[in-house]
């Protein structure tokens, strides 16, 4: 297939349309490739709406003017078929965008089977689970594509920000020997004679690397065998990870705040069309710092339950309501609610509980990130493993990595799908993943 003369739809709208003179007609000739988004047959006029990744344009055949075989073909092509359409670009007051194409050649490259298994119209009436069963076709929808255009902006903005911060992008192993977050939500995998685990996070590795390369970041896939099916959890998700040497929780909270602000700014700049499609008005968020105890007191007044060392989803929602367009950092978190690697603080909570240098970041009513200062002192780390009833011998290399010149360090991990769903106001996190993995879904 020679596509060298291809014109993208968005470029066609910027081209000069042909008038009646022959010369101009040649100028206004376009060759478009894409999908049949819609068809309409008004007997004497037939329309095809052609869609490519850049937009949609109307193709209009007129009985008596359009060549007869092309006019006949126009009514036979099923929706979502792939076509090549060559034609003249015409000004048209009635056509969306003010231009349409009069076809002179139509080639059906790949005919779509009919009927389609799901509704692929803009506001699909098919429920999410069924759409996900046919995700490859669901991704023909501009509304679905919009999510991943925004996700692309988020990813580029994250990388851009980290580059400017002087951080190095790193690639870490996805098969690990021991649980990197503690807890039992792990997937064992047969690894020759041993049992390995799918990575819960790149936590231990990003720490080890920060202890030599100082500032590092990663885009990392994590697997969590959480049994519950919620609208905000996945069993396979992605994180933006950051780790920095010579830093404590305060320093990396500031990095996270600026990172999220940069991401939101870029989405506002680059994705106005997608934000409009989802009727979202985004503002670059401000920042608020609250201790865990302050949040607990606010929630007590609001009669919302807060655990002794964790926030409930209702309390996160409430923080979103109380502090709109704000990244709320909840710090001085009770040590018992944080993983083994979080540095204990010298502060105590109101009930004498030991606090930590760990934090969560809540944005738009949901946790987008957690992080903190890490333990870089081997003896203290061993103590924490024991307190959490974890096997010290499973973490020998990790502990040893802090024996030969390891600076204090801190970092965070931010959920890629969480930030995507929140910026677009999606009701279910699965919408923000191309091919979601949850308890009931392993395919497509
Ligand atoms: P944590 O487990 O809190 O921290 O994860 C960090 C962020 O990742 C997102 N996230 C998830 N998103 C969807 N489905 C899940 N099952 C899921 N689990 C987590 C959330 C969460 O805030 N290693 C630490 C981070 C650090 O301290 O650097 C960690 O993984 O947005």
Please choose from 369, 422, 430 the residue to mutate so as to test ligand 1's pocket, defined by most ligand atoms within 8 A of CB: 369
**Long-range CB contacts for residues 195-202, cutoff 8 Å, separation at least 24:** 198/174, 198/223, 199/172, 199/173, 199/174, 199/175, 199/223, 200/176, 200/224, 201/239, 201/241, 201/413, 202/172, 202/173, 202/239, 202/241
What is the CATH number assigned to the segment(s) 136-432?
A: 3.30.930.10
Q: Are 340 and 332 in contact (CB under 8 A)?
A: no
Distance 53 CA to ligand 1 centre (A): 32
Domain residue extents for the chain: 9-110, 136-432
The predicted pLDDT at position 1 comes to: 86
Q: By alpha-carbon position, which residue is closest to atom 25 of ligand 1?
A: 413
Q: Are 384 and 336 in contact (CB under 8 A)?
A: no
Q: If DSSP codes are grouped into helix, strand and coil, which group holds residue 189?
A: strand
What's this model's pTM, rounded to 2 decimal places? 0.96
374 lines ligand 1 (CB under 6 A): no
- φ, ψ dihedrals at 12, nearest 5°: -60, -35
Q: By alpha-carbon position, which residue is closest to atom 19 of ligand 1?
A: 415
The predicted pLDDT at position 215 comes to: 98
Digitized pLDDT (tens) for each residue of the chain, 444 residues in all: 899 999 999 999 999 887 654 555 556 899 999 999 999 999 999 999 999 999 999 999 999 999 999 999 999 999 999 999 999 999 999 999 999 999 999 999 999 999 999 999 988 999 999 999 999 999 999 999 999 999 999 999 999 999 999 999 999 999 999 999 988 799 999 999 999 999 999 999 999 999 999 999 999 999 999 988 899 999 999 999 999 999 999 999 999 999 999 999 999 999 999 999 999 999 999 999 999 999 999 999 999 999 999 999 999 999 999 999 999 999 999 999 999 999 999 999 999 999 999 999 999 999 999 999 999 999 999 999 999 999 999 999 999 999 999 999 999 999 999 999 999 999 999 999 999 999 999 999
Choosing from 214, 226, 314, 383, the catalytic residue is 226
Choosing from 232, 258, 317, 437, the catalytic residue is 232
Q: Are 79 and 51 in contact (CB under 8 A)?
A: no
Atom of ligand 1 nearest to the CA of 202: 23
The predicted pLDDT at position 26 comes to: 59
Q: Are 362 and 331 in contact (CB under 8 A)?
A: no
Choosing from 46, 88, 141, 233, the catalytic residue is 233
Single out the residue of 341, 347, 348, 371 nearest to residue 358, CA to CA.
371
State the distance between the two ends of the chain, measured CA to CA, in whole angstroms: 29
Q: Are 50 and 85 in contact (CB under 8 A)?
A: yes
Active site residue 232: yes
Q: By alpha-carbon position, which residue is closest to atom 27 of ligand 1?
A: 371
Active site residue 159: no
237 lines ligand 1 (CB under 6 A): yes
Statement: 9-110 belongs to CATH 2.40.50.140: yes
Q: If DSSP codes are grouped into helix, strand and coil, which group holds residue 93?
A: coil
217 lines ligand 1 (CB under 6 A): no
Q: Could you check whether the bond before residue 444 is cis, i.e. omega within 30 degrees of 0?
A: yes
Q: What share of the chain is helix, strand, coil (3-state, %, to 5)?
A: 35, 30, 35
């Amino acid at each position: 297939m020679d596509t060298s003369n291809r014109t993208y739809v968005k470029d066609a709208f910027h081209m000069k349309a042909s008038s009646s003179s022959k010369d101009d007609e040649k100028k206004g000739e376009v060759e478009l490739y894409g999908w049949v988004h819609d068809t309409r047959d008004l007997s004497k006029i037939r329309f095809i709406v052609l869609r490519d990744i850049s937009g949609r344009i109307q193709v209009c055949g007129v009985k008596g003017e359009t060549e007869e075989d092309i006019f006949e073909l126009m009514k036979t092509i099923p929706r979502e078929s792939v076509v090549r359409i060559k034609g003249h670009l015409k000004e048209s007051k009635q056509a969306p965008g003010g231009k349409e194409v009069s076809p002179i050649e139509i080639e059906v490259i790949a005919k779509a089977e009919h009927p389609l298994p799901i509704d692929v119209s803009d506001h699909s009436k098919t429920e999410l689970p069924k759409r996900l069963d046919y995700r490859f076709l669901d991704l023909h929808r501009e509304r679905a594509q919009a999510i991943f255009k925004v996700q692309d902006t988020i990813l580029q903005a994250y990388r851009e920000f980290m580059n400017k911060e002087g951080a190095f992008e790193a690639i870490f192993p996805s098969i690990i020997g021991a649980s990197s977050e503690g807890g039992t939500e792990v997937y064992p995998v047969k690894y020759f004679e041993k049992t390995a685990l799918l990575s819960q996070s790149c936590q231990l590795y990003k720490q080890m690397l920060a202890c030599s390369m100082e500032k590092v970041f990663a885009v990392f896939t994590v697997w969590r065998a959480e049994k519950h099916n919620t609208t905000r959890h996945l069993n396979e998700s992605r994180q933006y990870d950051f780790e920095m040497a010579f830093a404590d929780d305060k320093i990396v909270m500031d990095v996270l705040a600026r990172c999220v602000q940069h991401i939101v700014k870029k989405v506002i700049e680059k994705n106005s069309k997608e934000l409009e499609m989802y009727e979202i008005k985004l503002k670059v968020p401000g920042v608020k710092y609250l201790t865990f105890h302050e949040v607990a007191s606010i929630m007590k007044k609001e009669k919302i339950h807060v655990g002794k060392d964790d926030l409930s989803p209702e309390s996160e929602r409430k923080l979103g309501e109380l502090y709109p367009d704000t990244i709320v950092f909840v710090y001085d978190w009770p040590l018992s609610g944080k993983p083994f690697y979080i540095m204990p603080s010298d502060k105590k909570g109101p009930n004498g509980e030991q606090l930590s240098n760990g934090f969560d970041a809540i944005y738009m009513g949901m946790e987008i990130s957690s992080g903190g200062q890490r333990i870089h002192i081997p003896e203290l780390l061993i103590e924490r493993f024991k307190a959490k009833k974890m096997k010290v011998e499973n973490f020998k290399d990790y502990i040893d990595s802090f024996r030969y010149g390891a600076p204090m360090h801190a970092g965070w991990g931010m959920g890629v799908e969480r930030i995507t769903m929140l910026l677009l106001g999606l009701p279910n996190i699965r919408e923000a993943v191309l091919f979601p993995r949850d308890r009931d879904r392993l395919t497509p």
